[in-house]
Amino acid sequence: MKAVFVAMLLVGLVAVGVGAGTWAYFSDTETSSGNYIQAGTLDLEVSGVGQFHTSQVVGGVGGDGIAPGDSDSWDITIHNAGSVDGTLTATFKNYVYTTEGSSTDPDITGTSDLRDVTYITMTLGGNPVDLSSYDTNGDTHVSLSELENQQIDLGALAHGTSETLTITWTIDPNADNGIQGDKIQFDIEFYLEQS
């Protein structure tokens, strides 16, 4: 009986060994190489007045001898040279105001302030920029004084694209002698933030 038991045990072990070979799984290995993570870039470029600068536009609006009712505009091309989409803003800042810089007649008086009677409108890519929230005095015009240090949302600027910002200024036709000889200088800072 012992011999039968040993024989059966040997047959069972052989059967398990043969069966184990049929339970094998197929397998394969592949390697994904050259993987990386790289941060994108935001690179804002502006150009205008016939000059291209990566950090600033020199010039822009200007002119001596402006008078009530005068108006002019200038274009600034804004380019996102980076690889990331962004949201663009503009801020009128660093105002330097000089009163009666070239008035030679002491009898010329008035109450108009050039900052208050210089009205600004803007379009980006031909579409009006809504400045109505900056009309703090409710006169339906947005003046330079109302825009001082205000961050103006200009909207999205996709990577690799350019838009033309047109800024138009108009001197109130009802401005009085108070603006004679006055001068205002200012900067417009453009800011692009990842969207």
User: pLDDT tens, 40-97?
Assistant: 777 888 876 444 444 444 445 556 678 899 998 888 899 998 999 999 999 998 888 8
Residue found by looking up tokens 């603006």 in the block: 179
Q: Which run of H or E residues covers position 154?
A: strand 151-157
Report how far residue 123's alpha carbon sits from residue 102's, in angstroms, rounded to the nearest whole number: 33
Choose between 98 and 122: higher pLDDT.
122
Q: What is the predicted pLDDT for the residue at 54? A: 42
Report how far residue 77's alpha carbon sits from residue 49's, in angstroms, rounded to the nearest whole number: 10
Domain boundaries, the chain: 44-194
SS3 53: strand
pLDDT category of residue 10 using cuts at 50, 70 and 90: low
Overall average pLDDT of the 183-193 stretch: 88
Report how far residue 118's alpha carbon sits from residue 133's, in angstroms, rounded to the nearest whole number: 17
Looking at residue 192, what DSSP letter applies? E
* Residue 50: both structure tokens together: 């016939």
Per-residue pLDDT of 113-164, as tens digits, reads 889 999 999 999 999 999 999 999 999 999 999 999 999 999 999 999 999 9
Q: Which residues of 135-161 are buried (b: 16+ CB within 10 A; e: fewer)?
A: eeeeeebbbbbbbbebebebeebeeee
pLDDT category of residue 4 using cuts at 50, 70 and 90: low
Per-residue pLDDT of 21-33, as tens digits, reads 556 777 766 776 7
Residue found by looking up tokens 């690179």 in the block: 43
Q: Smallest Cα–Cα separation from 92: which of 134, 43, 155?
A: 134
3 pLDDT above the threshold of 80: no
